[in-house]
Amino acid sequence: MGNDDRFIRVHSDSSGFGSINAIYVDKVTGVQYFWRGLSYGGGLTVMLNSDGKPLLYQPLEKNDTDPSAPQNVCAGCRNPISSNARFCSMCGAKVNS
Ligand SMILES: [Zn+2]
């Protein structure tokens, strides 16, 4: 699949006999879809969270500022690091590599 595809596969596993479980993400909305494939067919369903809302693929939420969200910390000085930072603002160590 190329980079221009709207849907990306973020997970897949096979349990044998031609069956496959896969999760696809709509890159525009971030909504996840579960695909259950069998040898000549399969089924697709939208994935929901416990509130019944579409389950979004978290890595696509780049502007997430929720303070309760887990944060990365620098391995050297334990300084919190934003998810898009490339270097620690405290010690300058390379992060998120
Ligand atoms: Zn640091």
CA of 57 to the centre of ligand 1 (A): 28
- In the reported structure, the alpha carbon of residue 76 is separated from the centroid of ligand 1 by a whole-number distance in angstroms of 5
DSSP character for 44?
Answer: E
Q: What values do phi and psi take at 85, rounded to 5?
A: -75, 145
The domain limits of the chain are 7-61, 64-97
How far does the centroid of ligand 1 lie from the alpha carbon of residue 44, in Å? Answer: 44
Q: With a threshold of 0.75, does the pTM exceed it? A: no
What tokens does 21 get? 């479980």
**Residues 65-94: tens digit of each pLDDT:** 555 555 678 888 888 888 788 888 889 888
pLDDT confidence of 17, banded at 50, 70, 90? confident
Residue 64's contacts (CB-CB under 8 Å, 6 or more residues apart) are 58, 83
Question: Rounded to an integer, what distance in angstroms lies between the CA atom of residue 91 and that of residue 7?
Answer: 38
Residue 38 tokens read as: 């069998």
Distance 95 CA to ligand 1 centre (A): 8
- pLDDT > 60? residue 25: yes
DSSP 59: G
